[in-house]
Amino acid sequence: MLNVLGTPVVEADRVTVAIAGRPVLRGVDVTIREGEFVALLGANGSGKSTLVRALTGLRPLTSGRVRLFGTPLHDFREHARIGFVPQRATAAGGVPASVREVVASGRLTRRTPLRPASRADRRAVQDALELVGLADRAHEGVSTLSGGQQQRVLIARALAGDPELFFLDEPTAGVDLPNQQALAGALRTLSERGATVVLVAHELGPMEPLVDRAVVMRDGRVAYDGAPLSLDAVHGHHHPFETTHDHAPHVGSPLDRLEGGR
Amino acid sequence: MSLLDLLALDFMQRAMLAALLTGLAAPAIGTFLVQRRLALLGDGIGHVAVTGVALGLLTGTSPTWTAVVVAILGAVAIEVIREQGHTNGDVALALLFYGGLAGGVLVTGLAGQGAASLQAYLFGSVTSISGADVWFTLGLAVVVLAVTLGLLPQLFAVASDPDFAQVAGVRVRAYNLLVAVLAAVTVTVAMRTVGLLLVSALMVVPVAASQQLARSFRATIVGAMAVGGGAAVAGLLISAALSLLPSRPTVAPGPAIVLLALAMFAATWPLGVWLRHRRRVLAPFAAEEPVRHEPADIHPHQHGDDCGHPAVQHGDHVDYVHDGHRHAPHGEHYDEH
């Protein structure tokens, strides 16, 4: 829901990030309120992933301020309230790991080191697996799953900590349509439970109906912030977009299109 | 003297205990290095530790202690260089490899000792393990095992996805440094049994063997410890047994231990290949209806449980995979699915 009066969950105030001396984000102001489902859209290099990394504390700010749940990012310690799905092609590493093990590491935000997992921890992991529809694959090696299933594992990992605020960095990149639909189903459930979702995407696909606010980035600045534009409003005519799976930023960054593309 | 007589000797028993602990600790920490694709980190630390041993020989202090200190400094340096990203991880490793080895040989020369005194540290030497060394090895190995197994969930999260771990509030840098320091400690622990030049093998080869069969991280680390412990003890026995041959050869335990671990990898690898192949062949087909009803050509062969063709789940029935076709029983004939 578009929640104009809700409690601010993420506040970015003139956020500027420079990577190796080059400004990548310039004066970004965004406030995301409780329960909103926000899509961060934009072309490659527009700064949308960098913005998410800045909001989660992975990228130091050059200037500006970020507050999460009202607390300055620097002092923010309630990690369990945040679920993060980083941009990754695979959930597998150099050593085999089972689906359940990967998902269980999402529970670390609520666990004390050197203590065994409690019953609540195990139940949360099981619930997360069920929500993404992978409970029957829990004991299999992550590397044996398809790319789309691995993305679902990464989402289940973020879910396992029972967070209120989700950051998802391109979870649908290179994922086939059935898996995108499974992802969208899981995100719908989350959103209905009242979670705040910040989703970075090139193309929304099956997630489109869930989005109630689009923030379009272009060249490190916010180019558009408001209700998602319908395809017709952007293009003026109908595009059969279910069949397009390339990474050209048509739905992803409508304003780029309006102004002549990349 | 028979092998049994040899086993009754104090130094042999000490060596066996040291080897077992080394064989357990090295793969435990090695699993995290392999997960982070830093399999050669142990080797880099081992080379740096050569300089530490040489400094001990030069100054007359215990080479074990100087090796621990220098190895930890080297490991932290590698980790810092890697994290800062100024140099590629592998180039940073290479710089320390060659600096450590050259420095070690140079300083040993300065100490007025030949290559022979380094030899015991480079390839291991059972007979050089004193009672104090065993206590030292025991203590450090227990620390390494307790920390790696106790903090397994945190270390796993950091090794498999540092960005995620960071956002989840896990102190990624601290844990990475911890792994580097533990690896350095393990290298010095293993120095007396397998030797500095082969220590990395004991960290990596058991993991490689174990992950052929394991599907989970926990199973990999436990399996690797079993392979490592087994190879270390058995390798030590082999080298001891060989020294009883009439020609009195001196076989260092390090090579025997490493070759044994490699043999275990060679044994599990084909099994792993076969298991992975089987899993792939038998993975269920997408439960979608066939495009059209298409009976197979004349088909004298009767498919069944033991017909030799893989039976793969397809929706509510099985397809028999047959020379690139998928044959599903349909009444009296087979359909192409």
* Inter-chain touch A93–B207, beta carbons under 8 Å: no
Does the CA dihedral A243-A249-A253-A257 come out positive or negative?
A: negative
The encoded tokens of residue A75 equal: 């002092």
Select the residue of B151, B159, B163 nearest A93 (Cβ to Cβ): B159
> Which uninterrupted H or E stretch holds A57?
none
Q: Are A47 and A217 in contact (CB under 8 A)?
A: yes
Query: CA A176, CA A178: separation in Å to the nearest integer?
Result: 6
pLDDT digits (tens, 9 = 90+) for A195-247: 999 999 888 889 999 999 999 999 999 999 998 876 545 544 444 444 444 44
Amino acid A242: pLDDT: 45
* Radius of gyration from C-alpha coordinates of chain A: 18
Q: Are A201 and A211 in contact (CB under 8 A)?
A: no
* Inter-chain touch B151–A114, beta carbons under 8 Å: yes
pLDDT over 60 (residue A255): no
* Inter-chain touch B220–A96, beta carbons under 8 Å: yes
Q: Are A48 and A217 in contact (CB under 8 A)?
A: yes
Report chain A residues whose CB lies below 8 A from the CB of B161.
86, 88, 91, 93, 105
Report the 10 Å Cβ neighbour count for B146. Answer: 11
- Residue in A with minimal Cα distance to B156: A105
* Inter-chain touch B217–A98, beta carbons under 8 Å: yes
A84 CB-contact burial (10 Å; exposed 0-12 / middle 13-18 / buried 19+) = buried
Beta strands in chain A (DSSP E): 8-19, 22-33, 37-42, 63-68, 71-72, 82-85, 165-169, 196-201, 213-218, 221-226
* Inter-chain touch B167–A79, beta carbons under 8 Å: yes
> Which uninterrupted H or E stretch holds B316?
none
Select the residue of A101, A109, A154 nearest B156 (Cβ to Cβ): A101
Residues of chain A in Cβ contact (below 8 Å) with chain B = 56-58, 77, 79-80, 82, 84, 86, 88, 91, 93-98, 100-102, 104-106, 108-109, 111, 113-114, 117, 139-141, 144, 154, 157-158, 161, 167
Report chain A residues whose CB lies below 8 A from the CB of B168.
79, 82, 84, 105-106, 108-109, 161
Mutate to test the interface with A, among B40, B216, B277 (most CBs of A within 10 A): B216
Residue given tokens 């063997």 in the structure block:
B209
pLDDT digits (tens, 9 = 90+) for A51-103: 999 999 999 999 999 999 999 999 999 999 999 999 887 888 889 999 999 99
Please, which residues bridge with residue A63 across strands? A16
A23 CB-contact burial (10 Å; exposed 0-12 / middle 13-18 / buried 19+) = middle
Select the residue of A96, A105, A114 nearest B211 (Cβ to Cβ): A96
* Inter-chain touch B153–A57, beta carbons under 8 Å: no
Pairing assessment for the beta strands A165-169 and A82-85 based on DSSP bridges: parallel
Report chain B residues whose CB lies below 8 A from the CB of A104.
153
Phi and psi angles of residue A9, each rounded to the nearest 5 degrees, phi first: -105, -40
- Chains A, B: CB contacts within 8 A come to 100
- Residue in B with minimal Cα distance to A109: B168
Q: Are A141 and B280 in contact (CB under 8 A)?
A: no
Select the residue of A79, A97, A117 nearest B168 (Cβ to Cβ): A79
Amino acid A1: pLDDT: 57
CA B191 to each of CA A250, B71, B103: distance values in angstroms, whole numbers, following the listed order: 60, 11, 18
Q: How many residues does chain A have?
A: 262
CATH 1.10.3470.10 in chain B is located at 3-203
* Inter-chain touch B153–A97, beta carbons under 8 Å: no
Smallest CA–CA distance, residue A232 to chain B, in Å, is 33
CATH architecture under which domain B3-203 falls: Orthogonal Bundle (1.10)
The encoded tokens of residue B149 equal: 């197994």
Smallest CA–CA distance, residue A102 to chain B, in Å, is 8
pLDDT over 70 (residue A116): yes
Select the residue of B34, B161, B170 nearest A86 (Cβ to Cβ): B161
Could you say which DSSP state residue B213 is in?
Answer: T
pLDDT digits (tens, 9 = 90+) for A145-183: 888 899 999 999 999 999 999 999 999 887 888 889 999
**In this predicted complex, what is the ipTM?**
0.85
- Residue in A with minimal Cα distance to B150: A114
Q: Which residues of chain B have pLDDT under 50?
A: none
B214 at interface of A, judged by CB pairs closer than 8 A: yes
pLDDT over 80 (residue A260): no
Query: CA B134, CA B139: separation in Å to the nearest integer?
Result: 8
B34 at interface of A, judged by CB pairs closer than 8 A: yes
Amino acid A237: pLDDT: 47
Query: CA B252, CA B200: separation in Å to the nearest integer?
Result: 16
* Radius of gyration from C-alpha coordinates of chain B: 26
Amino acid B190: pLDDT: 87
Amino acid identity at B54 = A
* Inter-chain touch A157–B164, beta carbons under 8 Å: yes
* Inter-chain touch A57–B167, beta carbons under 8 Å: yes
Q: Are B333 and B295 in contact (CB under 8 A)?
A: yes
Q: What contacts B291, CB < 8 A, 6 or more positions away? A: none
> Which uninterrupted H or E stretch holds B321?
strand B317-322
B169 at interface of A, judged by CB pairs closer than 8 A: yes
CA B67 to each of CA A75, A84, B133: distance values in angstroms, whole numbers, following the listed order: 40, 41, 13
Phi and psi angles of residue A112, each rounded to the nearest 5 degrees, phi first: -90, 135
- Residue in A with minimal Cα distance to B33: A94
Mutate to test the interface with A, among B167, B217, B278 (most CBs of A within 10 A): B167
- Residue in A with minimal Cα distance to B39: A94
Query: CA A79, CA A109: separation in Å to the nearest integer?
Result: 6
**CATH no., domain A8-258:** 3.40.50.300
* Inter-chain touch A56–B167, beta carbons under 8 Å: yes
Q: Are B117 and B127 in contact (CB under 8 A)?
A: no
Query: CA B115, CA A78: separation in Å to the nearest integer?
Result: 57
Does the CA dihedral A115-A119-A122-A123 come out positive or negative?
A: negative
The vertex-B152 CA angle with B151 and B156, nearest 5°, equals 120
Q: What contacts A254, CB < 8 A, 6 or more positions away? A: A41, A216, A224, A229, A233, A234, A235
* Inter-chain touch A93–B165, beta carbons under 8 Å: no
Query: CA B99, CA A181: separation in Å to the nearest integer?
Result: 54
Residue B332: strand, helix, or coil: coil
Amino acid A234: pLDDT: 52
Q: Which of B133, B159, B134, B138 is nearest to B148 (CA)?
A: B159
Select the residue of B151, B156, B215 nearest A113 (Cβ to Cβ): B151
DSSP A6-19: SPEEEEEEEEEEEE
Report chain A residues whose CB lies below 8 A from the CB of B31.
95
Top pLDDT among A37 and B307 is at A37
Smallest CA–CA distance, residue A258 to chain B, in Å, is 35
Amino acid identity at B262 = L
* Inter-chain touch A105–B169, beta carbons under 8 Å: no
Q: Are B199 and B75 in contact (CB under 8 A)?
A: no
Select the residue of A111, A117, A140 nearest B215 (Cβ to Cβ): A140
